Structure 1
Amino acid sequence: MSSWGKNNPDHAPKKSWSLGEAKGKLETYCAYQERCQWEVRRKLYEKGIKGDSAEELISEMISSDFLNEERFARSFARGKFRLRHWGKMRIARELKLRQISPACIRLGLSEIDPEEYYDMLLNQAEKKWEKTTEMEPTKKRYKVVAYLMAKGFEQDLVQEAVASVSSEQ
């Protein structure tokens, strides 16, 4: 959250929603992109709606199929893998942070094709290997491994990919 509003008295705080207007706004919010309950709950809290009224709105969104945790997990995993090039561990950690159930996390990760996953890992390893200016091979290898681990790829796959890339050089 920005502290800009606190330091600028002319800037009005975010407008809160009435219960009537919240349902329509939430439908638009959820129709724009897949959302999870945690994101919707956070949005409602931000707009001044808390407690039972927030939970009631969320259950209405679920029953009208605007909110679906499994659909969210699948979409999130596909998007973060293809666009951000995240590994499965990072995706799982982010989904867990959003309070997605372990079963939905497994379903989300099942969206990632294993061959495409390893190809992406090799591609990322090659790019990082080329960009790393370190001359000493051990340090260069360490930097590439650390980068790929931070992206959320599994250690055994990272070691395999870096060994493959470093042997080509």
Structure 2
Amino acid sequence: MVNYCVYQDRCHAEVEQKMKEFLLIDEAREEIILYLLKENFLNEERFTRSYIRGKFYIKHWGKNKIRMNLKQKQISEKMITICLDEIDEDDYRKTIARIYDDYISRQKGLQEYQKKSKTIKYLMSRGFEYEFILDTIENYK
């Protein structure tokens, strides 16, 4: 389990799931979790911050999509809110603007309102907030 946690940051749910594959008794699982926590191989805040940075700066996901995926990994809302400061506000706005510009320029043969509508839907599917998208559109004109 140490090697599993060393390879990349893991959350509790991932470690628990991996241990279920080994069919360990409950006491052994608890001992392993305690050891991983004590030796700092398992750190929920470090995992959350790393996950947020990766999904935003590499995959260009918005905060909503990141939040939803972290909730699926059983990370608490409080932890998510604390760690979302990993995303710089200027970088966030620049990313929305860049994706907006790229996507809308690829829309051919559509009316202006159709391009705008499709682009808004696309950005929302990427997890960006509607208010930020509208703000980006206003600044884009």
* TM-score bin (small chain): over 0.9
Once residues 162 and 84 of structure 1 are traced to their aligned partners in structure 2, the CA distance between those partners, rounded to angstroms, is 22
Query: Structure 2 length normalisation: TM-score?
Result: 0.92
Large movers: runs of 4+ above 4 Å: none
The one-letter amino acid paired with 2:64 is M
Question: Structure 1 pair 46/131, CA: closer, same or farther in 2 (3 Å)?
Answer: farther
Residues 121 and 153, structure 1, Cα contact 8 Å, conserved in 2: yes
The one-letter amino acid paired with 2:124 is M
Once residues 151 and 50 of structure 1 are traced to their aligned partners in structure 2, the CA distance between those partners, rounded to angstroms, is 40
Once residues 125 and 50 of structure 1 are traced to their aligned partners in structure 2, the CA distance between those partners, rounded to angstroms, is 51
Structure 1 residue runs without a partner (length 5+): 1-25
Pairing 1:37–2:12 present: yes
Q: Which secondary structure does the structure 2 equivalent of 1:110 belong to?
A: helix
Partner of 1:27: 2
RMSD over aligned Cα, in angstroms? 1.4
Residues 39 and 98, structure 1, Cα contact 8 Å, conserved in 2: yes
Pairing 1:97–2:104 present: no
Partner of 2:85: 110
Q: Which secondary structure does the structure 2 equivalent of 1:48 belong to?
A: coil
The one-letter amino acid paired with 2:5 is C
Partner of 1:75: 50
Alignment of 1:149-164 (within 5 A): 149-164=124-139
Q: How many residue pairs end up in the alignment?
A: 141
Structure 2 residue runs without a partner (length 5+): none
Q: Which secondary structure does the structure 2 equivalent of 1:67 belong to?
A: coil
Partner of 2:41: 66
Specify which structure has the bigger relative contact order, considering alpha-carbon pairs within 8 angstroms and separated by 6 or more residues.
2
Query: Structure 1 length normalisation: TM-score?
Result: 0.78
Question: Structure 1 pair 61/140, CA: closer, same or farther in 2 (3 Å)?
Answer: same
% identity of equivalent residues: 35
